[in-house]
């Protein structure tokens, strides 16, 4: 591929990152060039983000239906999983899974709610009231 032919198709990450590609310059020598992305990569990223948005919407629905606690919703919203959340909070993974139950979440002491709120960068009131 010639350096002038490096794809520059916009994607979800176009303004955030660039990818290094090797291409031939005018002399036929290989050198690096930056690409914003290309159509295939854009399609894959768009599909992945669609899945993320679907998971967040489902988590919100589950919280509003009383099936899950707000901890679950904010974990999904912040693109975390139980392992990552356990690392940030210092809580055991099984403890966090218990906190996903609305009945358990309702009884959590303020100290634990503050830990979650700090990790999710929200207030305790926002944590308690998903809308």
DSSP letter at 68? S
8 A C-beta contact, residue 55 and residue 79: no
8 A C-beta contact, residue 72 and residue 62: yes
19-34: pLDDT as tens digits: 778 888 888 888 888 7
The pair phi, psi for residue 31, each rounded to 5°, is -150, 170
How confident is the prediction for the chain on average, in pLDDT?
89
pLDDT band at 14 (very low <50, low <70, confident <90, very high): low
Mean pLDDT across 119-128 = 95
The answer to whether residue 110 scores a pLDDT higher than 90 is yes
Q: What's the confidence (pLDDT) of residue 11?
A: 67
The rounded distance, in Å, linking the Cα atoms of 25 and 27 is 5
Domain ranges of the chain: 3-37, 41-124
8 A C-beta contact, residue 68 and residue 62: yes
Closest by CA to 7, choosing from 29, 40, 31, 30, is: 40
Distance from CA of residue 28 to its chain's centroid? Answer: 41
pTM of the model: 0.76
48-96: pLDDT as tens digits: 989 999 999 999 999 999 999 999 999 999 999 999 999 999 999 999 9
The rounded distance, in Å, linking the Cα atoms of 90 and 86 is 5
Q: What's the confidence (pLDDT) of residue 85?
A: 97
The rounded distance, in Å, linking the Cα atoms of 91 and 104 is 15
């Amino acid at each position: 591929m010639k350096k002038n032919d490096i794809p520059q198709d916009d994607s979800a990450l176009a303004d955030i990152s660039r990818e290094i590609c090797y291409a031939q310059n005018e002399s036929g020598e290989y050198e690096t060039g930056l690409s914003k992305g290309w159509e295939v990569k854009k399609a894959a990223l768009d599909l992945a983000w669609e899945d993320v948005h679907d998971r967040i919407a489902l988590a919100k629905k589950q919280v509003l239906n009383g099936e899950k606690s707000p901890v679950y919703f904010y974990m999904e919203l912040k693109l975390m999983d139980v392992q990552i959340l356990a690392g940030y909070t210092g809580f055991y993974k099984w403890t966090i899974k218990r906190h996903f139950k609305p009945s358990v979440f309702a009884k959590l002491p303020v100290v634990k709610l503050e830990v979650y709120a700090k990790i999710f960068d929200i207030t305790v009131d926002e944590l308690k009231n998903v809308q």
